[in-house]
Structure 1
Amino acid sequence: MNKLLSVLSLSTVIGLGASQGVMAKETIVIGELNWDGAKAIQNVLKVVMEDEFNVDVEFIAADQAAIWAAMDSGKGSVDVFPDIWTTLQDQAWKKYVLEKGSVKSNKLPYLGSDGFFIPGYIQDEYGVKTVYDLAKPEIAALFDSDGDGLGEYWPGASGWELVKTNQIKAKSYGFAEYFEPVVVTDAIMKAQLKTAFRKKEGLLFYYWTPEWIHYAYDLRQLEEPEFTGYTNERKKDDKDYNPEAGCYSYEDTDNWLEDSEISCAYPITPIYIGYSASLEERAPEVATFLSNVVLDSSYVSEWVFSMSKGDDAIDVAEEWVEGHQDIVNSWLQ
């Protein structure tokens, strides 16, 4: 009898262990984007989530449209969009966050700005201060690295929606006639930036703040007319819709370049962390945490600057989290 009870007890323990083994950790998948700020954020989120919750965190590289679609499906193929520049993802933001509610965001964004930049030595020697100064053949020649008679500019990396909007700007400001867009990765562009400064050559490129390159190089943002509102009808529900004084009309048509006009600066951008609403059921503590994360541009600048010196993103994240438990604890409340 005792032997039978012992066997039954052992069977019960094994059964419980097997049952617990079936209850594997939830895996949280973060969409890996191709700029340093996003990579820094995703690693900080990974460190905190794996430290504080019973989850594994994985990264998967995908373009932004695919990340939105995956979060919308709620099946866990991608759960988190770590760095949503809302003015550049306005249609997806409206569709999935504001209308469908299939994607949620943290409550408070950090702020970013963006535009066209050139080396300071080019501005000082040739007086290139505004985007309109680029619409001259003698100025474009300063940025012609291949000798084909056209200057080159970087509108962004493949898969970025703003690649199109920057080409529309070039047309609207009149310098598209003298320049050609060259779409390469962010890493290649930064290598070109390093070479340009070493050789004191011209380089025209789109970029943003916060970012480490502004610490490392003397970069000057070209002046543009102030943003006064969106003109096109697709923005009629946006708080910045202004058909009378608007200067920003991007038409998503087959002839987007000809049909669109953008003749002003980008607005200051609220930048959010997005996550699939399905996490509220699958991993509610994780969803609550993500909704409470409050980033600051100074944090992001610090992370990407450390990464620029060769530090691995995960090491930067671990060191920062360990040294800023007060901030992390505020996210966990």
Structure 2
Amino acid sequence: MITVARTRFQPDRHLAVLVVLLLALAGCNSTDDGTADGGPAAGEGGGGASITMARATWDTGWMQAEIYRQLLEELDYEVSDPADLTRDAATFYPALAQGQVDLWANGWFPLHDIYLSRPLFTGQEISESIEVVGTQVEGGAVQGYLIDRATAEEMGITSMDDLSDPAVAAVFDIDGNGRADLQGCNEGWGCNLEITSQIEELGWGDNVEQVVGEYNDLLEDVQSRVEEGEPTLFYTWTPNWTIDVLQPGEDVVWLESTAREDVEESTEVDIEGCAGEEPCDLGWVVNDIRAVANPDFLDDNPVVRRLLEVVEIPLQDIADQNARMNEAGEYTDAQVAQDAADWIEDNRELVDGWLETARG
């Protein structure tokens, strides 16, 4: 015979169970650290949440973007391939502010400040809808103008101000119009806009014109001219493969320059290969490389914010990878991804500390 157990309804007991269930359901909609609905709590990863990530058009920042992507994947996020959203700064920041993209690792500050004061269609400035977080490389992004060492020594050129003499500027004239051809940056890049402003505002500007184009193509021409002993004037930054191929102090020299009047920060830096006196006044503020994200996204994903706050990548490691890319000629996204994976494994103890901090 089968016996069926019957339980008499007990109001107090069932009410207690109901209260517990309601509290549990409420816990699903909030976290101990006040995260918005659905955001990972302290001690958790991304729970499979998706992230739309971009990267810069300058390939010197691609490995760093890939390092961030792989770290986020270790935190259980599904991250889009940054290569699918390769953007220049002029198009990235509006997209970020409008929530079309969640983040990138390629912010340069203060160089990129020029993009943040631009208005959105709502009338708000972009700066009101983005968050700069963490410092990937602090004070390592040096920028400035260089010329070939042979011409510098032959003519005693130490500063861009020397180009205020038309005869000196004409030495660097390539197209025959009498003005020095300064190999510059891609259209719309921050450096392109800053060079244009300096040409307009500084005393040597009347005798100098910026050559605009694909940066790597311009610098390949620079390399050829220096190797052939031709007078050459160009812009570059660190980290960048150019200063490995054309070494300051041996092949080329940094020129000193006057900063624009509205620049309030110091533009002096201790750097090898300065044509003038140390410290070398390059006329450019040394930049920090920083991650930039949409603040609403970060509020919903405090795990990501905590990660971005602690990641730091040595400047020399970036420069070494950039040099490998240049030496290879053709370099695939798969190779960039492998470089990032190798870097993470080589720094596994440090990386694990970052991941632990991110999880809270």
Query: How high is the TM-score relative to the length of structure 1?
Result: 0.73
- 1:267 equivalenced with 2:288 (yes/no): no
For residues 177 and 262 of structure 2, the distance between their equivalents in structure 1, rounded to whole angstroms, comes to 36
Letter in 2 for 1:152: D
Confirm or deny: 8 A CA contact 1:229 1:241 kept in the other structure. no
Unaligned runs of 5+ in 2: 1-45, 119-123, 268-280
Deviation at 1:130, TM superposition (A): 0.5
Change (3 A) 1:202 1:25: farther
**2:58 is matched with which residue?**
35
Partner of residue 137 from structure 1, selected from 166, 189, 205:
166
Deviation per CA, 1:158-182: give whole Å up to 9, x if none.
Answer: 1113323212323444333323221
Structure 2 residue matching 1:100: 3-state secondary structure: helix
Confirm or deny: 8 A CA contact 1:86 1:269 kept in the other structure. yes
RMSD: 3.2
Structure 2 residue matching 1:70: 3-state secondary structure: helix
For residues 79 and 228 of structure 1, the distance between their equivalents in structure 2, rounded to whole angstroms, comes to 34
Change (3 A) 1:281 1:171: closer
Deviation at 1:215, TM superposition (A): 1.7
- 1:303 equivalenced with 2:321 (yes/no): yes
Deviation per CA, 1:39-65: give whole Å up to 9, x if none.
Answer: 221122123223442313322022313
The correspondence of residues 111-190 of structure 1 with structure 2, limited to 5 A, is 111=139, 112-190=141-219
For residues 105 and 92 of structure 1, the distance between their equivalents in structure 2, rounded to whole angstroms, comes to 17
Change (3 A) 1:298 1:330: farther
For residues 177 and 126 of structure 2, the distance between their equivalents in structure 1, rounded to whole angstroms, comes to 46
Change (3 A) 1:97 1:148: closer
Change (3 A) 1:176 1:201: same
The correspondence of residues 286-297 of structure 1 with structure 2, limited to 5 A, is 286-297=304-315
Unaligned runs of 5+ in 1: 1-22, 232-239, 247-262
- 1:220 equivalenced with 2:253 (yes/no): yes
For residues 54 and 168 of structure 2, the distance between their equivalents in structure 1, rounded to whole angstroms, comes to 40
Structure 2 residue matching 1:294: 3-state secondary structure: coil
Partner of residue 98 from structure 2, selected from 73, 76, 80:
73
Deviation at 1:132, TM superposition (A): 1.2
Partner of residue 88 from structure 1, selected from 86, 93, 111:
111
More deviation, 103-112/200-209: 103-112
Deviation at 1:274, TM superposition (A): 0.9
Change (3 A) 1:158 1:94: closer
Change (3 A) 1:66 1:315: same
What's the % identity of the aligned pairs? 20
For residues 79 and 352 of structure 2, the distance between their equivalents in structure 1, rounded to whole angstroms, comes to 20
Confirm or deny: 8 A CA contact 1:131 1:222 kept in the other structure. yes
The correspondence of residues 46-57 of structure 1 with structure 2, limited to 5 A, is 46-57=69-80
Change (3 A) 1:197 1:156: same
**2:343 is matched with which residue?**
320
For residues 127 and 81 of structure 1, the distance between their equivalents in structure 2, rounded to whole angstroms, comes to 43
Structure 2 residue matching 1:318: 3-state secondary structure: helix
Deviation per CA, 1:220-266: give whole Å up to 9, x if none.
Answer: 111124x59736xxxxxxxx489xxx9xxxxxxxxxxxxxxxx9812
Deviation at 1:91, TM superposition (A): 4.3
Structure 2 residue matching 1:174: 3-state secondary structure: coil
Change (3 A) 1:292 1:229: farther
For residues 55 and 117 of structure 1, the distance between their equivalents in structure 2, rounded to whole angstroms, comes to 43
**1:3 is matched with which residue?**
none
Query: How many matched pairs?
Result: 281
For residues 326 and 129 of structure 1, the distance between their equivalents in structure 2, rounded to whole angstroms, comes to 45
For residues 292 and 134 of structure 2, the distance between their equivalents in structure 1, rounded to whole angstroms, comes to 7
- 1:205 equivalenced with 2:237 (yes/no): no
More deviation, 182-191/198-207: 198-207
